[in-house]
Structure 1
Amino acid sequence: MKFDDFLATVDDWGKFQKIKYGLICLTYMLPPIMVYTYTFTAAVPNFRCQDSDMLFDDGYFAQANTDYNSKYLPTQEQCTRADKLLSLKECQRCYIQTKPKFNQTANRPDSKIEKCNKHVFEKIHYDKTLVEEWDIVCDRIIYRSAAQIVFFVGYMVGSVVFGILADKYGRRPIMSVSFILLTASGLLCAYGPHAALGFWPSYIIFVLSRFLIACATRGISVSGFVLGSEIVGPSKRLLTGIVIEYFFVFGQYFLVAFAFFIRTWRALTGAITLFTVPFMFFYFILPESPRWLVSRGRFDDAEKVLRKIAVDNKRDFDPNKYQQLKEEQQKHMKSTQHQQGIMSLFRSKIMCIISFNLFLQWLVQNLVFYGVSQNTGSWDLNPYLSFALSATVELVAYIVVHLILDRVGRKLPYCLFSMLFGIIALLTIPVQKYMPKQIILMTIINLLLKFLASGSYAIIYIYANELFPTNVRNTGMGICSMVARIGAIIGTFCNDYLTRIWIYLPIVLYGIVSLISAILALMFPETLNKSLPQTVEDVERMGIIGMKKKQFTSTLPESEALTGNNEDIILKENIQANDISDSKI
């Protein structure tokens, strides 16, 4: 008997599953909060060089800015001579004239410009950000980028480490450890850095704590989503996969509400950390995954959980059926399985092309999604409104994907979303050239880009899972997950550095690579209503564009197909080296 068949006898989307899955969904509000907090805590307000005549009395307000501009603002000619790679705006806020102007219409012949060491910041939207406290603008922007890059490295490390630990020790204890680590590292991040320590000790403490936050966040994501997927049967996995994405957006709403009322980076980080404290008690509420317990041969513990599920749902626990499940699992645990290595992805021509193509698709989609999502501060709107609109558009994208994916397939929506993203992104060039003051038009473009990026980002996880063969699916998806983080890191770098040349240059870059990815994705076969390929030979029979597709028979039940669109269940599959699939439990 399969585990899913037995689970249906005690809980077919009953009270137990709904309540426990609801609690797990609440935990999934934490990842977006931790990822996007940096958007507010390290926001870059408008700034300029400090007026040396005013010193401590200087500030970023109308009269002071007028006085400063009349004496110290570099001209376009001076900026061109100083650094041709910087935009005029970036030059004028990072450089200052060494000699004041005696006449606003004519510069002194010996007037030069130099990089300023101190800056004053606008206080309209933020009271104090990390950027202001540590003066990490202009040439020091590297410190801002490095902190976020280290965060994404922590994402990679946490995914692997906590995923392996969750396979070995269980989902519930690893989730609890992750919550404790998240709270502790959050407090360290908020209150560890201090002016008395100086910049470097404070910066190291901050970066290290952000690294630990990222690791803990991935521990929660991997363990939580997998636990949620393991307490439901195949018929509910599409529903649960979509619902948990909705909570990912709800977490963004929660964050923007906190950020709107708490406008200093330290207080905001501390408040969000306190929000994580109640989750540490989820250890006493959430059950261990009965599916994992059975796969590990812990049948007595699994029986206790399953009996409790039956009692909660007023169902009968059939000991005979459970004994049958137990015997089949014991028999399976004594058998050996043939595992193919990573080279299976590259030995055949078609499999090699599909593998490298998927690696590229994941890199591009993470580059585009995180690049657009972390760049809402450059929209010509109130930053809090921009972030809320971005989250709303992401929610709409998930709903649309939910409605169309099982109707029109994977290939057409994915290619269409990616291609439209590229076209609309490139439209920013003529819009900025001929209509630079059209704020409403640019807002519409930004919202469309967010919608399309979210849609293609969601689809690629499902598509890739259905293109890799079962016997090397874990390996293939694991490489995709690692490459994806490189895309997120590149997106962070582009947002910080390319915007100094032209504020919309990152968007243009994202558009170009998105078009390339859409064209390359055309060679993929459609996977809708097709059995999952079990071997490399099955993928060969599916073929690619320009090659005739052949019918094939796979022994892998379609019920094992991943129907959710979340990376965490995929990543779980990648890192569990000793996984026992549902069909064999």
Structure 2
Amino acid sequence: MSAAMDKEKKFDLDDVLSKFGIFKKYHRQKILLLFIAFASNSMYCNQFIFVTEPVQYRCIDRDDLDQSVCSYNSSDVCTQWIYEEPNSFVATFELACQDWKRTLVGSAHNFGYMVGLLIVGPMSDRFGRKAAIVATGVLGGVIGVLRSFSTWYWIFVALEFLEACIGDICSPAFVLSLEIVQQKKRLLFNMIVSLGYSVGGTTLGLVAWLVPSWRWLLRTIYTPALLFIFYIFLLDESPRWYLSNGRKEKASAILEKAATTNNIKLDKNMLDNLNCEADESTNFKEVVLGTMKSRKLRTRFFVCLVWWTTSTFVNYGLVLNSISLQGNKYLNFALTQIIDVPGMFFITYILVRFKRKKPLIICFVVGAVLCLSQPFIPMDLPWLSITFYMAGKLMSSFYFNITYLYTSELFPTYTRNSMHALCSSLGRIGSLVAQQTPLLTVYWIGLPAFVFGSASLFAGFVTLLVPDVSDDSLPDNVKQAEALGMKERKAVL
């Protein structure tokens, strides 16, 4: 009788994944592949900071490099410009006195990223995480290289938008990193692969220092992305995605392959009785509407939207302005990236010990305090100003990383990448607005920091509206997603 009942017992994927150690051969291979994907995405997201960096220029009939000549009246029209760096992006496209065209490149990239998330996320849910990773990785590399040969400014801007739109490998890679490990090992595994993002950003700063030509900089960082085509053979699809689409045989094959690679034996009965629910729609419109019908998921969506907008607004604003700090601009940028490495270990320890909700609230509040304090630091203490700046950047990285993870844990498998992408896409409004914050200094030098701090404070407050899900397995359907946090609530009662 008990043997018959054991055969009929259904097993969750986490029951099988618990048999694997993330430092065994199979998952070590996946760590390396996903680490590279994150590193490449980090370089591509910030490359325009160095590609389109400002340079000094002067009119040919003047001796000084002074951009104030742009305020000349109609009788002082300049017919020819001389640039401090003749091979720079500004000089190549003759952008003297058209600084808006230089900053437009960053806006085009961020807007393309917003639009692209609404394409890549649903594509990942519909065709699989692996297919999305390979497609975005290769297309991003191709478009990036093509952009380096552009001889017309508007073609360059269009390619910048297109590359950001369909070349975002980070979104499907991140979701895959969550789905191929057990719940208890999810945080550590994600922390390790996410270190690629910091390493990639640091590498960009150093490569930009060594390769001053903007065309060769693009070719140097984008050409290796063409190798993502080999991920067809090196990377496996998410077994969780296969199960959510009713393809149990495919999921079992991957799990058996992983077991063979690690020289372990899986219980055949466990694989035969895996939970496999595939009655949910993956149509993007239906996914969004289905989510919004649930009051709990609707609330979570709007909270996640606040998190993402605040995270991109503050984090991107601080990174963008880092090259304006005193000292070597390349090293300053690299410092804002590499400081996330020890920070990642620290925040992982905190999340393991104190779950998700409280650390996120604390990070938002402390980040707000650091931002609000910045304007009141004495001007004659630059070391203290830079210290507060880097501390604020580190704190914004903390809550950005928690937001990335937390968002993915709040929604079911069949819609996880779509909802994660939707929150991330709409939240990128923050990165667009961040580019305009320097204009606020006209009214008060500390106004941008005050806005950053206020946004962080508000985001910390709305976090009270969502449950802590660190002790729950990833939900596969709406019912399971709505039940998240119930263990914690029962424990309190």
Which bracket does the TM-score occupy, shorter chain normalised? 0.7 to 0.9
Q: Displacement of 1:342 after TM fit?
A: 4.8
1:247-286 matches, cutoff 5 A: 247-286=196-235
Within the candidate set 437, 444, 455, 1:513 is matched to 455
Q: Does residue 1:134 correspond to 2:93, yes or no?
A: yes
Corresponding residue for residue 571 of structure 1: none
Q: Displacement of 1:430 after TM fit?
A: 3.5
- How has the CA–CA distance of structure 1 residues 186 and 232 changed in structure 2, closer, same or farther, with 3 Å as cutoff? same
**For the aligned residues, what is the CA RMSD?**
4.0
Corresponding residue for residue 443 of structure 1: 386
Q: Displacement of 1:237 after TM fit?
A: 0.7
Within the candidate set 23, 27, 32, 2:33 is matched to 23
1:390-409 matches, cutoff 5 A: 390-409=336-355
Q: Displacement of 1:484 after TM fit?
A: 0.9
Secondary structure of residue in 1 paired with 2:436: helix
Cα separation, 2, equivalents of 1:526 and 1:375: 35
Identity %: 26
Q: Does residue 1:456 correspond to 2:399, yes or no?
A: yes
Deviation digits for residues 527-567 of structure 1 (CA, Å, limit 9, x no counterpart): 2767699779979999xxxxxxx94599xxxxxxxxxxxxx
- How has the CA–CA distance of structure 1 residues 449 and 158 changed in structure 2, closer, same or farther, with 3 Å as cutoff? same
Q: Displacement of 1:41 after TM fit?
A: 0.5
Q: Displacement of 1:361 after TM fit?
A: 3.2
On the 8 A contact 2:37/2:173 being kept in 1, the answer is yes
Q: Does residue 1:215 correspond to 2:174, yes or no?
A: no
Corresponding residue for residue 578 of structure 1: none
On the 8 A contact 1:162/1:222 being kept in 2, the answer is yes
Corresponding residue for residue 6 of structure 2: none
Q: Does residue 1:144 correspond to 2:102, yes or no?
A: yes
Deviation digits for residues 507-534 of structure 1 (CA, Å, limit 9, x no counterpart): 343234334444x347546727676997
Cα separation, 1, equivalents of 2:49 and 2:163: 15
Within the candidate set 146, 152, 155, 1:205 is matched to 155
Cα separation, 1, equivalents of 2:264 and 2:183: 20
- How has the CA–CA distance of structure 1 residues 185 and 19 changed in structure 2, closer, same or farther, with 3 Å as cutoff? same
On the 8 A contact 1:410/1:463 being kept in 2, the answer is yes
Cα separation, 2, equivalents of 1:12 and 1:443: 38
Q: Does residue 1:234 correspond to 2:175, yes or no?
A: no
Corresponding residue for residue 335 of structure 2: 389
Q: Displacement of 1:474 after TM fit?
A: 7.8
Within the candidate set 55, 61, 68, 1:52 is matched to 61
On the 8 A contact 1:30/1:217 being kept in 2, the answer is no
Cα separation, 2, equivalents of 1:474 and 1:169: 11
Q: Displacement of 1:462 after TM fit?
A: 4.5
Corresponding residue for residue 136 of structure 2: 178
- How has the CA–CA distance of structure 1 residues 116 and 383 changed in structure 2, closer, same or farther, with 3 Å as cutoff? farther
On the 8 A contact 2:117/2:422 being kept in 1, the answer is no
Corresponding residue for residue 71 of structure 2: 95
Cα separation, 2, equivalents of 1:233 and 1:397: 24
- How has the CA–CA distance of structure 1 residues 342 and 264 changed in structure 2, closer, same or farther, with 3 Å as cutoff? same
On the 8 A contact 1:118/1:135 being kept in 2, the answer is no
Secondary structure of residue in 2 paired with 1:380: coil
Cα separation, 2, equivalents of 1:115 and 1:425: 43
Cα separation, 1, equivalents of 2:15 and 2:481: 30
- Letter of the 1:314 counterpart: N
Within the candidate set 236, 242, 253, 1:287 is matched to 236
On the 8 A contact 2:206/2:331 being kept in 1, the answer is no
Q: Displacement of 1:117 after TM fit?
A: 7.3
- How has the CA–CA distance of structure 1 residues 266 and 311 changed in structure 2, closer, same or farther, with 3 Å as cutoff? same
Cα separation, 2, equivalents of 1:551 and 1:289: 31
On the 8 A contact 1:396/1:451 being kept in 2, the answer is no
On the 8 A contact 2:125/2:415 being kept in 1, the answer is no
Secondary structure of residue in 1 paired with 2:148: helix
Q: Does residue 1:32 correspond to 2:32, yes or no?
A: no
Instruction: Report the TM-score, using the length of structure 2 for normalisation.
Output: 0.81
Corresponding residue for residue 568 of structure 1: none
1:312-351 matches, cutoff 5 A: 312-325=261-274, 328-329=275-276, 332-333=277-278, 341-344=290-293
Within the candidate set 418, 424, 427, 2:364 is matched to 418
Cα separation, 2, equivalents of 1:504 and 1:121: 32
On the 8 A contact 2:203/2:334 being kept in 1, the answer is no
Deviation digits for residues 242-268 of structure 1 (CA, Å, limit 9, x no counterpart): 112211101112212211110011110
Deviation digits for residues 440-463 of structure 1 (CA, Å, limit 9, x no counterpart): 233223212211211122233445
Within the candidate set 468, 482, 492, 1:527 is matched to 468
On the 8 A contact 1:345/1:476 being kept in 2, the answer is no
Corresponding residue for residue 52 of structure 2: 42
Corresponding residue for residue 310 of structure 1: 259
Cα separation, 2, equivalents of 1:213 and 1:324: 43
Q: Displacement of 1:503 after TM fit?
A: 7.3
User: How many aligned positions are there?
Assistant: 474
On the 8 A contact 1:411/1:521 being kept in 2, the answer is no
Cα separation, 2, equivalents of 1:177 and 1:255: 23
On the 8 A contact 2:125/2:417 being kept in 1, the answer is no
Cα separation, 2, equivalents of 1:188 and 1:537: 43
Q: Which moved more, 1:143-152 or 1:112-121?
A: 112-121
Q: Displacement of 1:357 after TM fit?
A: 4.7
Cα separation, 2, equivalents of 1:491 and 1:502: 16
Cα separation, 1, equivalents of 2:109 and 2:448: 20
List runs of 5+ in structure 2 lacking aligned partners.
1-10
- How has the CA–CA distance of structure 1 residues 383 and 120 changed in structure 2, closer, same or farther, with 3 Å as cutoff? farther
- Letter of the 2:225 counterpart: T
Cα separation, 1, equivalents of 2:51 and 2:310: 26
Corresponding residue for residue 8 of structure 2: none
Corresponding residue for residue 59 of structure 1: none
On the 8 A contact 2:50/2:208 being kept in 1, the answer is yes
- How has the CA–CA distance of structure 1 residues 507 and 50 changed in structure 2, closer, same or farther, with 3 Å as cutoff? farther
Q: Does residue 1:163 correspond to 2:105, yes or no?
A: no
Corresponding residue for residue 570 of structure 1: none
On the 8 A contact 1:175/1:223 being kept in 2, the answer is yes
Secondary structure of residue in 1 paired with 2:167: helix
Q: Displacement of 1:164 after TM fit?
A: 2.4
On the 8 A contact 1:293/1:299 being kept in 2, the answer is yes
- How has the CA–CA distance of structure 1 residues 238 and 11 changed in structure 2, closer, same or farther, with 3 Å as cutoff? closer
Q: Displacement of 1:489 after TM fit?
A: 1.2
Corresponding residue for residue 58 of structure 1: none
Q: Displacement of 1:341 after TM fit?
A: 3.3
- Letter of the 1:274 counterpart: T
Q: Displacement of 1:465 after TM fit?
A: 5.8
- How has the CA–CA distance of structure 1 residues 419 and 299 changed in structure 2, closer, same or farther, with 3 Å as cutoff? closer
Cα separation, 2, equivalents of 1:456 and 1:288: 29
Secondary structure of residue in 1 paired with 2:47: helix
Corresponding residue for residue 547 of structure 1: none
On the 8 A contact 1:538/1:552 being kept in 2, the answer is no
Secondary structure of residue in 2 paired with 1:400: helix
Q: Which has the larger radius of gyration?
A: 1
- Letter of the 1:213 counterpart: E
- Letter of the 1:403 counterpart: Y
On the 8 A contact 1:29/1:251 being kept in 2, the answer is yes
